[in-house]
Amino acid sequence: MRRRLSLTAALVLLLSLLCACAAQHAQEMDENGYELYFLSDPNSAGGSDAIRAQEKRMVLDGAMETEDCVRALLEALLAGPDEPSLSSPIPEGTALKSLKVSGRRAQIDLSAQYARLTGIDLSLADYCITLTLTQLPNVNAVSITADGRELPYRETQVLLSADTLLSSRESGLRPITVSLYFLDSKTGELRAEQQTLALYEGQTRVNALLEALAQGPEDDSLVSLLPEDFTVISSRIENGVCYLNLPANVSLPEDEAARDLMLSALEQSILSLGGVDEVQFLIEGSAEPDGYR
């Protein structure tokens, strides 16, 4: 079953970026220091934010026109990150065709490669650009076209500045990147799939991960091992240990090998979360009995 991120996930993503931006602007920066926003390495994200900033020293003095400043930042962003743990969400080969600043809105036209992006990939790229450009004092909104055309997959074509949206932010939603383990139908072994999940306010990382496991993989060659009626009473993380409390009537495969494989997929997925070193299964609050796994 393929899992699609909805508009809600795009909103979650946006709010995450705003939180990241606020944290970065709270730090003292050099006069010529600017933040370029890129994707975090999913293999090391460990459930942390999907987007991270790289500081770049650039000579943008007060005598420069706003359009020249926008061009300098955007070209630096298109050049990609210097840090190996970061990657660009913008398709390779994308170039700046034209730009214009009207009032405090930067209108960016990129080459046709940018139009390949859809869904959360488009949202990630849009806001990496927006967060980078809205650091400039005379830019608080960005619109992005590809080869002169608006992209039809967006809720809005005008992306507001982080500071503007942060003032009206109602909740601390953000996406997390995790490794989910599913059964490879060809090899019969477990295989990890990187997914970016929407983490809602009040929802724990473990709960979001369990929901994603139940919804299934994005890759059609993978199969979810969790039964449809699989439930968890509660979960908590203490001192690097994730305690997963299961009901006594939890639905598990009768075959021991199949049961071990399912629990292993569950355990390895949870271990992909940052700060989790061990998973302990409980039955109605008590340690699992011998032979449970």
- Over residues 228-272, the pLDDT tens digits come to 778 888 888 999 999 999 888 777 778 888 889 999 999 999 999
- The pLDDT-based confidence of 280 (bands split at 50, 70, 90) is very high
Indicate whether 217 and 134 sit together in one domain: no
Q: Is position 293 within any domain? A: no
Indicate whether 155 and 47 sit together in one domain: yes
Q: Which of 124, 142, 166 is the last residue of a domain?
A: 166
**pLDDT of 45 above 60:** no
Indicate whether 139 and 200 sit together in one domain: no
Indicate whether 196 and 250 sit together in one domain: yes
Average pLDDT over residues 25-46: 64
Pairing of strands 33-40, 51-57: antiparallel
**pLDDT tens readout for residues 190-221:** 999 988 776 665 678 898 898 888 888 888 89
Indicate whether 33 and 142 sit together in one domain: yes
- Using CA of residue 221, residue 225, residue 227, residue 230, what is the dihedral sign? negative
Range of the domain at 50: 7-166
Q: Is position 1 within any domain? A: no
Gap between the Cα atoms of 17 and 35, Å rounded: 13
**pLDDT tens readout for residues 75-130:** 999 999 998 889 999 999 999 999 999 878 899 999 999 999 988 788 889 989 99
Q: How many domains does the chain have?
A: 2
Indicate whether 30 and 58 sit together in one domain: yes
Q: How far apart are the first and last CA of the chain?
A: 27
- As a whole number, the mean pLDDT across the chain is 79
pTM: 0.50
CB 292 within 8 A of CB 267: no
Q: Which of 166, 187, 221 is the last residue of a domain?
A: 166
Q: Which of 139, 166, 193 is the last residue of a domain?
A: 166
Counting residues of the chain whose pLDDT is more than 70, the rounded percentage is 75
pLDDT score, position 53: 79
Indicate whether 179 and 278 sit together in one domain: yes
- The pLDDT-based confidence of 29 (bands split at 50, 70, 90) is very low
